[in-house]
Every structure is written in C-alpha cells, then in structure tokens.
C-alpha cells in the first residue's frame, strides 16, 4: 500500500463521480422540460421509460457517492480499508449495466414498427434474439461475479467479465446504429422529417455508446493496474439518457412508432399511414 497512487485510483473515481453528478443534474432538467412539454399526453410508454431510467440513474448516483464517501471520508487515513470493495461499489456496476441494457432494449420497438411497414422480419427478429438475451446475461453475469469479489485485487480474476460486458455493449450499440443506417438507406425518408430525425438520434446514441465502451476496453487492457477504466465506466450510461429524451420526442411525433395515450389529443398528422410517408401539418 506504500506505493499506492491515489491520483490514478481513487482520485479518478472521485472525478468520475463529480462529472456523473453533473450529468445527473442535466438529465433532471431535461426530464422536467420533457414532462412539462408532454404533460397533457397521459401515461405513455416513453414516459414510463423516462421514469425508469431516472430511477436507475438516481440509484447509480447514490451508490457511487456512498462508495466514494466510504473510501475518502469514513476511512480517511485508513489505507487497509482501500483494499476492500464496499457493497455500494459492486451495486453501482450492476446498475450501470442495467441502464445500458434498458436503453438498448428501448430501441427495439421502433425497429419493429419501421420494418413492419416493409414486411421485413429478419432484421427485427435478429435484433430481438440478440439484444434481449445478451442484455439479461450481461446484468446477471456481472451481478454474480462482482458480488463474489471482496478485494480490488479480485477484479483481476473477473477481468474477462468486464471485457465480455463492455464488448457486448459495444456490439449491441454498433448493431443498433447499423440497423438504423440500413433502414434509412432502403426507406424514402425525404418526406418524413420526423422519422429521419428519429433514426439520426438512434444512430448518434449507438455510435456514442460504442465509442465509450470501446474506450473502457482499451483503458482496461492498457492500464489494468489503476482505476482509470473504472472512472470511465462510471460515465458509461450517462450519454444514453440524453438521447432517450430526444428519441422520446421523435417517437411521440411519429404516430406509427407508438400510439398516443387514450386521453391524449388526436394527432395532427394525416396522409398515408404506412410507417414512412406522412404529411405533417
């Protein structure tokens, strides 16, 4: 412990915690604006999704801050305590994976609806068969392996689990972005700005999450003896939620992606309701 460098270990975790808290505050503001904008639309699928993601994000912030408080305040000047892994540190890793998996599954319904208008079943079936089991497996596997570890040195034994979870997250995000690119190529979206914008937001999310997950993998492989990759992992789920709010707006504007609530006002869209070409007034 005499050679422990706090700058690239718990110092990095503290910086990640501070930046994560800023992102959480921004997501709260964005959620408030979203709910105020759609306060008359009733209970919709995407409103429940936003509530769910905000709840998970709040849990993540609580667990991360609890872990940092444990190491830097409660056990100040107690170097032996830095060897162990507190329960909240394990829990935040699981919550982080659950947020990323939830965002990935969120993009399945738009893909199904868009493909349905083209009598295309192979792409959505493949995405569902891949994303659903993969998302569940990542959360379960990471939960089991993390709670088996009692010391930070034990993380070396489950490094394969980190590689697998980050690799699956990268691949899933890449497939989502690639699927939307393919649907844009085969679709006539010139007359449907809403659908084109929806696809653009989903592509942006997939690319951003892929690059962030890939950065975590590179840092883990290049610097496994410090916590820099864990500091990046603290922020893995943060960019996704900002795109979720944008996708929620686009999906609500596009009546073929999600039907309006029972007590919501009628849509102002008319024209061919085939999922692609709409005349938006």
pLDDT in tens, 74-130: 988 888 888 899 999 999 988 988 888 888 888 777 777 777 666 667 777 887 888
150 versus 175: the higher-pLDDT residue is: 150
Residues above pLDDT 90, as percent of the chain: 11
Work out the pLDDT band at 34, boundaries 50, 70, 90. Answer: confident
Radius of gyration over every alpha carbon of the chain, rounded to an integer in angstroms = 21
pTM of the model: 0.78
- Supply the pLDDT for residue 138: 83
- Supply the pLDDT for residue 190: 54
Work out the pLDDT band at 265, boundaries 50, 70, 90. Answer: very low
- On the question of pLDDT at 53 being above 80, the answer is yes
Cβ burial 225-240 (10 Å sphere, 16+ → b, else e):
ebbbbbbbbbbbbbbb
Distance separating alpha carbons of residues 17 and 205, to the nearest angstrom: 22
Helix axes 159-186, 87-106, angle to 10 degrees: 20
Closest residue by Cα to residue 138 from 89, 109, 171: 171
Closest residue by Cα to residue 146 from 95, 98, 102, 94: 94
């Amino acid at each position: 412990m005499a050679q422990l460098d706090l700058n690239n270990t718990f110092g990095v975790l503290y910086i990640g915690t501070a930046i994560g808290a800023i992102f959480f505050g921004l997501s709260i503001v964005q959620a408030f604006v979203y709910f105020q904008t759609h306060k008359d639309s009733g209970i919709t699928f995407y409103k429940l999704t936003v509530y769910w993601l905000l709840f998970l994000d709040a849990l993540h912030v609580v667990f991360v801050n609890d872990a940092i408080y444990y190491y830097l305040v409660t056990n100040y000047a107690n170097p032996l305590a830095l060897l162990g892994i507190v329960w909240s540190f394990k829990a935040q890793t699981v919550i982080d994976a659950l947020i990323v998996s939830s965002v990935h599954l969120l993009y399945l319904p738009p893909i199904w609806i868009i493909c349905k208008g083209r009598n295309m079943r192979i792409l959505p079936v493949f995405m569902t068969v891949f994303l659903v089991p993969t998302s569940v497996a990542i959360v379960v596997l990471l939960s089991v392996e993390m709670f088996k570890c009692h010391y930070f040195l034990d993380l070396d034994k489950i490094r394969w689990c980190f590689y697998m979870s980050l690799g699956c997250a990268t691949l899933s995000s890449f497939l989502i972005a690639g699927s939307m690119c393919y649907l844009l190529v085969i679709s006539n979206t010139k007359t449907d700005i809403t659908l084109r914008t929806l696809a653009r937001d989903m592509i942006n999310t997939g690319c951003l999450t892929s690059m962030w997950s890939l950065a975590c993998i590179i840092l883990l492989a290049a610097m496994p003896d410090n916590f820099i990759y864990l500091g990046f992992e603290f922020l893995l789920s943060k960019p996704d939620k900002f795109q979720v709010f944008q996708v929620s707006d686009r999906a609500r504007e596009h009546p073929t992606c999600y039907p309006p609530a029972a007590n919501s006002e009628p849509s102002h869209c008319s024209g061919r309701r085939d999922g692609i070409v709409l005349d938006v007034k």
